[in-house]
Structure 1
């Protein structure tokens, strides 16, 4: 396409937006509302997915060592556990460290046990894939000089199942919302094009090609998507900034974190803009197609 022809189409698309003021306003309003809903819900679901991942990554097992084990046995056990397939990290904690942690948590009353420490040395083990925790726990418990392995048996499977369901539900809801947004916006754009069907018929009758007719409407769809995404981008940015500033200090010492304001806000805003443009193009393309058969 020649640059002059493209420039003409750009000018024509902008003129048509101004000429059909109320229909443009209706289309932009539909784009704005639906993209705002999609943007807010997507940001929420991505943060829920981040929280689910954090919970999964925090799954670990406590491997308790037999009381009579010496330092050589402890070093040998660490090497054996580390060599197992699927082990991400192994951290040793002596019974003295465990007692200190107990005193810090429950107060000086626990200091009475310093004379006769009943606790065991232990390893804190993490699996590369949290879903392999149960398998690893079984393998570790079979190693000599291991007294016990604790990892939340029975509850960990329920946790993973719940997280998987929440992810699937979130994905379905986002897909459903996007489909609804495309349906609403394309119908609004279709109403705009129906009102101008005479214009399309005249262009076809004087010999204009299908693409010559389509391009101004597609450009209008792009403009509608861009204009309609401005307000959602601004609202989502302000909302997420305030939520982030409120939540971050309160989650500072928690293993669950929300997504950093940057670069996440740029990613979600780019997604909103892209959805607006794609839906605008799709709605215009599909709506003008039926009027090209003259």
Structure 2
């Protein structure tokens, strides 16, 4: 295609937006409202997914080491147990915590009354183990329980399985809702654009009757659909960015140090805004292409 022809198509697409201002406004409004819903829902679902991931990653196995009176023998036994656990391919991390550290945690959580046990600490040295895949926590715990010098293994048996099940269900529900919302967005926006093109079917028929090729007729409409998608995505991008930024600066300091965190504005807003503009352009172009096609058969 010649540069002059392409330039003409771009000019015509801009002119069409102005000539059909009411239909253009209706199309942009439909794109704006629908993409705003998509943007808000995308931000919510991405944050819920992060919360679910954080909960999964927080699951750990507590390995209580046998109490051995002889310190030298106890140290060798602990090193051997740590090496055995490290050698498991399913294990991502092993952190050692002495019985003094464990008592300090209890004193911090339950009060200074427990400091009476500092002279005669009855607790065990503990290994905190995390699996590469949190879903394999139970299997890893079962393997560690068979190792020598292991007094007991705890990982929240029963509760962990329920947690993973709830997370799986919530993710599946979220995926279905996102797909449903995207399908609704495509349906609403493409139908609005289709109505805009149907209102101009006489213009298309005249162009065909005077000998215009299909591509010559189609390209200005496709470009027009692209502009509608871009213009309709601007307001949702601004609203989502401003609202989420203000929510983040309010919540992030309060959640600092807590298990549950929300996603930082960067790169989240770049990702969501990129999704919105790509979705707007895709639906605009696709809706225009499919709608004008039926009028080209003259």
TM-score, length basis structure 2:
0.97
In structure 1, the residue corresponding to 2:88 is in which secondary structure?
A: coil
Between 160-169 and 32-41, the greater mean CA deviation after superposition: 160-169
Structure 1 residue 228 displacement after superposition? 0.5
Q: Distance in 1 between matches of 2:194 and 2:60?
A: 55
Could you list the runs of 5+ residues in structure 1 that have no partner in the other structure?
none
Between 53-62 and 256-265, the greater mean CA deviation after superposition: 256-265
Q: Which residue of 2 aligns with 1:79?
A: 83
Q: Distance in 2 between matches of 1:265 and 1:271?
A: 10
Structure 1 residue 115 displacement after superposition? 2.1
Q: Distance in 2 between matches of 1:97 and 1:26?
A: 65
Q: Distance in 1 between matches of 2:169 and 2:247?
A: 25
Q: Which residue of 1 aligns with 2:187?
A: 183
Q: Which residue of 2 aligns with 1:138?
A: 142
Q: Which residue of 2 aligns with 1:120?
A: 124
Structure 1 residue 85 displacement after superposition? 2.1
Structure 1 residue 6 displacement after superposition? 0.8
In structure 1, the residue corresponding to 2:78 is in which secondary structure?
A: helix
Q: Which residue of 2 aligns with 1:267?
A: 271
Q: Which residue of 2 aligns with 1:47?
A: 47
Q: Distance in 1 between matches of 2:190 and 2:147?
A: 64
Q: Which residue of 2 aligns with 1:245?
A: 249
Structure 1 residue 249 displacement after superposition? 1.0
Q: Which residue of 1 aligns with 2:5?
A: 5
TM-score, length basis structure 1:
0.98
Q: Which residue of 2 aligns with 1:38?
A: 38
Structure 1 residue 178 displacement after superposition? 0.8
Q: Which residue of 1 aligns with 2:25?
A: 25
Q: Which residue of 2 aligns with 1:168?
A: 172
Alignment of 1:80-99 (within 5 A): 80-99=84-103
Structure 1 residue 141 displacement after superposition? 0.5
Q: Which residue of 2 aligns with 1:58?
A: 58
Q: Distance in 2 between matches of 1:82 and 1:52?
A: 26
Equivalent pairs, count: 294
In structure 2, the residue corresponding to 1:16 is in which secondary structure?
A: helix
Q: Distance in 2 between matches of 1:65 and 1:8?
A: 79
Structure 1 residue 108 displacement after superposition? 0.9
Is 1:192 the counterpart of 2:203? The answer is: no
Which of the residues 209, 214, 217 maps onto 2:218? 214
In structure 2, the residue corresponding to 1:185 is in which secondary structure?
A: helix
Deviations 1:217-269 (A, max 9, x none): 00100010011011000000001101111221122112322211112111111
Q: Which residue of 1 aligns with 2:152?
A: 148
Q: Distance in 2 between matches of 1:92 and 1:189?
A: 63
In structure 1, the residue corresponding to 2:30 is in which secondary structure?
A: helix
In structure 2, the residue corresponding to 1:100 is in which secondary structure?
A: helix
Q: Which residue of 1 aligns with 2:234?
A: 230
